[in-house]
Amino acid sequence: MYERKIPIDLDCPLRLTMSLIDSKWKSCILDELRDRSLRPSELHKIFPEAAPRVLDLQLKELTEDGLVSKTIYPELPPRSEYAITDLGWTLLPIIDAMIEWGNKNAALFEKKYGKKDGEKGVADGENCRKCSL
């Protein structure tokens, strides 16, 4: 069984919530699973810049935390799918608020951190290339 390196802080609701979704890919994974169940290979295609090991580890953590379920189908070759759980669905309003905040404030941070010449971003009305929002 997987054991976390950093224990979850149960004394602070903010830190508890952040520890469950605070990683580079967990919120993105939950957002993708809102529409349909996905196989690990599909998630790897959606997030090609994520190292497969990191994505798999974060899927495992989401599963162990009860935010995502994993179904293994008894067939050859073996097939598995991940789906968001009822508990995972309760985090989507938080993720939606993060997306909305990012859309509203993208221009400020694009000025601060810069964009490559000719590159468009969410402040220009472009959808996020990773999550299409």
Q: How confident is the prediction along the chain (133 residues), in pLDDT tens digits per residue?
A: 556 677 777 888 998 898 888 888 999 999 999 999 999 999 999 999 999 999 999 999 999 999 999 999 998 888 999 999 999 999 999 999 999 998 888 888 887 787 655 565 555 555 565 555 5
3-class secondary-structure state, position 114: coil
Cα(90)–Cα(130) distance, integer angstroms: 22
Over the Cα atoms of the chain, what is R_g? 17
| C-alpha count within 13 angstroms, C-beta hemisphere, residue 3 | 0
Predicted TM-score (pTM) of the model is 0.81
What domains can you pick out in the chain, each with its CATH number? 13-124 (1.10.10.10)
Two tokens, residue 129: 């290339």
* Phi–psi pair at 72, nearest 5 degrees: -105, 125
Angle at alpha carbon of residue 118, lines to 123 and 32, rounded to 5°: 50
